[in-house]
């Protein structure tokens, strides 16, 4: 029986044009900040499946195990994930709810820039982005505020950690901006 702490990850290339389309719309809205998107898959599918079947210690443990994984810490060195990580406050929701949140994120913009497109275009970009990263069973962890030194600790700090058990992937999208 494997636990989440036994799962190791490898970073995956971002090749889907739907991801780049959303990021291309988002990055100019955060000119004084940063936007980070990464995708990870387990290096051992059997360990991942065993952990997903046997390690049911709750959402806190699932998110914490992912963010504390040594391979994730190495791949996300620029995030400066503190050790030990005190799990930040987060909300869980579905991929459908993430789509709405990402639409609002585009429309609201960053410190100085607002999305120049229409609400319909923002919705389309968000819907296609979410379709590229998840399935109906995707679980989204939304972290508001600065939880590592990477963030600029102003009003525009947010993170989305996405667990896609069907696709055996984890995604992380982090945003920060300052005025």
The whole-angstrom separation of Cα 122 and Cα 114 is: 11
* CATH classification number, 4-176, choose in 3.40.30, 3.40.1000, 2.20.25, 3.30.70: 3.40.1000
Q: What is the pLDDT of residue 55?
A: 61
pTM over 0.75: yes
* Contact (Cβ atoms closer than 8 angstroms) between residue 134 and residue 95: yes
Listed in order, strand segments (DSSP E) in 6-97 are 9-12, 34-42, 90-94
| Start-to-end CA span in the chain (Å) | 49
Q: What angle do CA 50, 53, 56 make, to 5 degrees?
A: 115
* Contact (Cβ atoms closer than 8 angstroms) between residue 129 and residue 21: yes
Looking up tokens 């030194």 gives: 149
Q: Within 13 Å and on the Cβ side, how many CA atoms surround 84?
A: 4
One digit per residue, pLDDT tens: the chain, 179 residues? 777 788 899 999 999 999 999 999 999 999 999 999 999 999 999 888 888 776 666 677 789 889 999 999 999 999 999 988 887 789 999 888 999 999 999 999 999 999 999 999 999 999 999 999 987 788 999 998 999 999 999 889 999 999 998 899 999 999 999 98
> Which DSSP helix (H) or strand (E) runs through 160?
strand 158-164
- Return the closest-CA partner of residue 159 out of 55, 71, 66, 74: 66
The side-by-side arrangement of strands in the sheet containing 90-94 is 9-12, 34-42, 169-176, 158-164, 139-144, 90-94
* Contact (Cβ atoms closer than 8 angstroms) between residue 106 and residue 29: yes
Summarised one tens digit per residue, pLDDT across range 16-46 is 999 999 999 999 999 999 999 999 999 999 8
């Amino acid at each position: 029986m494997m636990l989440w702490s036994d799962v190791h990850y490898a970073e995956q290339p971002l090749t889907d044009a739907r991801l780049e389309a959303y990021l291309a719309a988002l990055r100019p809205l955060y000119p004084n900040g940063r936007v980070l998107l990464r995708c990870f898959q387990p290096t051992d599918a059997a360990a991942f499946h065993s952990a997903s079947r046997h390690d049911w210690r709750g959402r806190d443990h699932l998110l914490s195990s992912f963010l504390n994984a040594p391979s994730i810490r190495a791949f996300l060195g620029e995030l400066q994930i503190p050790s030990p990580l005190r799990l930040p406050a987060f909300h869980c929701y579905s991929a459908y709810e993430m789509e709405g949140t990402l639409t609002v994120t585009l429309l609201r913009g960053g410190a100085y820039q607002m999305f120049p497109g229409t609400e319909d275009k923002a919705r389309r970009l968000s819907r296609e982005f979410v379709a590229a990263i998840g399935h109906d069973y995707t679980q989204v962890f939304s972290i508001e505020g600065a939880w590592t030194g990477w963030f600029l600790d102003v009003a525009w700090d947010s993170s989305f950690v996405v667990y896609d058990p069907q696709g055996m992937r984890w995604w992380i999208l982090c945003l920060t901006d300052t005025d």
